[in-house]
Amino acid sequence: MEKLIDSYGRQIRYLRVSLTDRCNFRCIYCSPADKVFHFIEHEEILRFEEILEIAQAAAEMGITKIRLTGGEPLVRKGVIDFISQLSQVNGLEDISMTTNGYYLSEMAHSLRSAGLNRVNISLDSLDRRKFKRITGFDGLLKVLRGIETALQEGLIPVKINVVLLKGINDDEVENFIKLTIDKPLSVRFIEFMPTNHQLQETNEGRFISAKVILERIMDKYPDAHSVTAEKGCGPASYYQLPGGQGMFGFITAISQHFCSRCNRIRLTAEGNLRPCLLNDRELELKKRLREIPQSQTELRKDAIKSLLKEAVLSKPISHRLGSGEKDVTNFDMSQIGG
């Protein structure tokens, strides 16, 4: 098997796929309702059939893990059937999804039956009014039902992603940690990444270091101890309360990045390969693929593999966000997936 190894010796085994840039929420740090955003035209979104082709070629080059993201992946029609087909791709060991959780209460069973292994649920507040302020949508109670359903259906580990927003939800950290006492949840606090320049005014001053939060937690819970993360927990460092069923952790993409351990590349909703989330370079895979007739299956596979290799070899040694440099990157997270 030909492996995907970048210029710095990192083997790439993980592909993140954005299924759509659409979302039923309008989060203040992504696409708030008071800002005008232009969605990708339907015909420019990568087709499910094309994603399956790419996944098969990627698996033949050592990709073992795929995460489906958005926007909100569950708003795309046909996603259950697509996951069922994706689960048949030889070589894939793990298929997961990042979702806002709103549709999980009615879809979790079908997702698990189709072959989805686990979910990450984006949830930035446990307060109903604050949740609505952040997302533009009164959906907290339904998301909480979705979390319970995901646990019941065995989409585990169920991970809760909390973007830390100074002055908005940093006072809720303790409430999130309490969830890990009685439930087998992995709560991850993620440092806010200011990526969209259109939202600079909205998000000004919202960053707070995970180190500051951890110091607060350790003052409150001195018995919390570090633990080894379970499968699929990526770059987070984890802690556990005595007797807790779950754990909590921190993803420090800004204050203490983990680029030396990066093992992923991304496929955007419009079909571009993005070697690094926080670097604007992209390779136009969809454009190349649609130049080749469907009947030319081997030629199409060769083109996919060639661009995968090129993307991996163009991965930078690290991102520069948080380095003090200006205008490092500017993109809509909804088109790429976090």
Is 203's pLDDT higher than 70?
Answer: no
User: Residue 174, exposed/middle/buried by CB under 10 A (0-12, 13-18, 19+)?
Assistant: exposed
Is 6 a member of any domain? Answer: no
Dihedral sign (CA 149, 152, 153, 156): positive
* Dihedral, CA of residue 84, residue 27, residue 21 and residue 67, to nearest 10: -40
- Rounded Cα distance, 114 and 116, in Å: 6
Q: How many domains does the chain have?
A: 1
* Residue 7 resides in a domain: no
Question: What gap in Å lies between CA 24 and CA 34, rounded to an integer?
Answer: 15
Q: How far apart are CA 229 and CA 226, in angstroms?
A: 9
Percent of the chain clearing pLDDT 90 (strictly above): 71
What is residue 205's predicted lDDT score, i.e. its pLDDT?
75
CA distance 294 to 298: 10
pLDDT digits (tens, 9 = 90+) for 207-227: 888 888 888 988 889 999 999
Judge contact between 27 and 78, C-beta under 8 A: no
> Helix (H, G, I), strand (E, B), or coil: what is residue 332?
coil
Domain-embedded: residue 165: yes
Using pLDDT thresholds of 50, 70 and 90, give the confidence band for residue 191.
confident
Single-letter amino acid code for the residue at 141:
L
| Mean of pLDDT values over 119-133 | 97
Does residue 204 form part of some domain?
A: yes
pLDDT at 327: 43
**What is the rounded average pLDDT of the residues 106-124?**
98
pLDDT digit string, tens, across residues 303-318? 999 999 999 999 998 8
* Within a domain: 203: yes
Which residue range(s) make up the domain with 332?
14-336
CA dihedral 272, 275, 277, 281 (to 10 degrees): -70
Give yes or no for a cis peptide into 71 (omega within 30° of 0).
yes
Rounded-to-integer distance, Cα 331 and Cα 195, Å = 6
Backbone torsion region of residue 6, taken as left when φ is above 0, otherwise alpha when ψ lies between -120 and 50, otherwise beta: beta
> 104 in helix, strand or coil?
helix
Look at residue 110 and tell me if it is in a domain: yes
Residue 2 within a domain = no
The stretch 171-187 carries a mean pLDDT of: 96
- What does DSSP assign to residue 101? S
- How far is it, in rounded angstroms, from Cα 241 to Cα 244? 5
Strand residues in the chain grouped as ranges (E): 14-18, 65-69, 94-99, 118-122, 158-164, 185-191, 225-227, 237-240, 247-251, 264-267, 272-274, 283-284
**Which CATH number goes with the domain that contains 114?**
3.20.20.70
pLDDT tens by residue, 268-323: 999 999 999 878 889 999 999 999 999 999 999 999 999 999 999 999 988 666 54
The string of DSSP codes covering 130-144 is HHHHHHSS--HHHHH
pLDDT at 232: 47
The CA distance from 142 to 139, in Å, is 6
pTM for the model stands at 0.90
Query: Is there a domain that residue 3 lies in?
Result: no
Give me the pLDDT at residue 28, please: 87
